Amino acid sequence: MIARIWHGATRESDAGEYFEFLKRTGLRDYRALPGNRGVWVLRRTKGGRAHFLLMSLWDSLDSVRAFAGPDVARARYYPEDDRFLLEKEPTVEHYDVLAGPGDGARQSS
């Protein structure tokens, strides 16, 4: 399994509206593709900014390509992202998933 991790930041005042936008676009698109195992959205507010960290889980890099295109390291953006994001990071990170909930691995509390 592969974890795809993306980071973006908005103004704190735009955080709620941006999350609604994410639900209508990227989150919906992730979930619609075969090979997607789910997505987590994390948000942290600091210094007037809302930082979003999205971690989507995929069966394989081929599954990721169905969403991201041939260059899986390149971040995928929607035209409306320009309205919200303070900058657009060009790449994402991918990790092999070695353990997760329910597989006997110890989880921190």
- Here the tokens at position 22 are 């994410």
Q: Please tell me the pTM assigned to this model.
A: 0.88
Residue 108 domain flag: no
**Host domain of residue 60:** 2-94
Residue 47 lies in a domain: yes
Query: Which of the 8 DSSP states describes residue 88?
Result: -
User: What is the CATH classification number for the domain harbouring 24?
Assistant: 3.30.70.100
**CB-CB contact of 76 with 68 (8 Å):** yes
Tell me whether residue 103 is in a domain. no
**Confidence at 81, pLDDT banded by 50, 70, 90:** very high
| 36 domain residue, yes or no | yes
**Contacts for 79 with CB less than 8 Å, ≥ 6 apart:** none
Does 34 fall in a domain? yes
Q: What is the pLDDT of residues 26-57, one digit of tens each?
A: 999 999 999 999 999 999 999 999 999 999 99
Domain count, the chain: 1
Residue 67 inside a domain? The answer is yes
92 has pLDDT over 70? yes
102 located within any domain: no
Question: Would the pLDDT of 7 be above 80?
Answer: yes
